[in-house]
Amino acid sequence: MNYSDLTTVMRRLALEGGAKIMEIYEADDFDVKVKSDDSPVTAADEAADAIISAGLRAAFPDVALVTEEQADSHDVSAMTFLIVDPLDGTKEFIKRRGDFTVNIALVENGIPTRGVVYAPARNRMFYTTATGATVEEMGPFDLDTVGETKPIRVSEPNNSALMVVASKSHRDQATDDYINKYQVADSKSAGSSLKFCLVATGEADIYPRVGRTMEWDTAAGHAVLNGAGGRVVRFDDHTPLTYGKDGFANPFFIAYAPGVDLQEA
């Protein structure tokens, strides 16, 4: 895999997918369907998936591809694969709250090593460079010309005054019970994989997820956080969260800056 080419392609496809999503988001109305697992899907999910899938298959025809909207057809046994959530945070999209993202990642040997997270309604974009380090690109964004970028790095946490970020749509009592094990200075809510990015930039120290997620929900954010010096571990035993699992379902997990003194579940 040529990581420089991958970075260029992932960034461009995220922007193209994001532009299509915003076109639908800004329309007067859009249809919402319900998938077999009761999760919502919109025309924006499907249109962005078509753009991104076609672009990745053209650029990397020999690399296996997993996408949320085509998940029923996937049986990936490859050690290396691309994984896409064309619209992460569909509930945020439907409610027009802006916290939705385009997620594209590369998984190698169970680890997300490269990724891009683009939040088109927030004008924020985070991605790993060819070297694996993470940057935030400052808008406005151009398809073919990379704008100003700044390296990002996780915080050096103060364990007596932690910054916590949690899900906006899925926060529950179990999440609050776990957060209460820490000394928290402030807690914020965010949608989609933006939570990983807030830990990556140091805007938050820890993001616990006590709830269902799939690998396409987390891989790009995980890659972004890895490249900024962060970690993602299983909630139950604090071993690294890995990818390529049967059915692509994740266990509960914790994303955090390494200086956080993790508490037991």
**162 has binding-site annotation:** no
Helices 3-25 and 43-59 cross at an angle (nearest 10°) of 160
Helix (H) or strand (E) holding 136: strand 134-137
**90 has binding-site annotation:** yes
**85 has binding-site annotation:** yes
**221 has binding-site annotation:** no
Q: What's the one-letter identity of residue 24?
A: I
Residue 29 is given by DSSP the state: -
Helix (H) or strand (E) holding 92: helix 90-94
DSSP three-state, residue 235: coil
**215 has binding-site annotation:** no
**239 has binding-site annotation:** no
**45 has binding-site annotation:** no
Closest to 80 (Cα-Cα) out of 116, 127, 117, 112:
112
The answer to whether 93 and 210 are in contact (CB under 8 A) is no
Percent of the chain as helix, strand, coil, to the nearest 5: 30, 30, 40
Structure tokens at 102: 């385009």
Closest to 200 (Cα-Cα) out of 74, 97, 91, 115:
115
Which single residue is written with the structure tokens 């699992």? 245
Annotated binding site for Mg(2+): 68, 85, 87-88, 217
Annotated binding site: 68, 85, 87-90, 217
Annotated binding site for substrate: 68, 87-90, 217
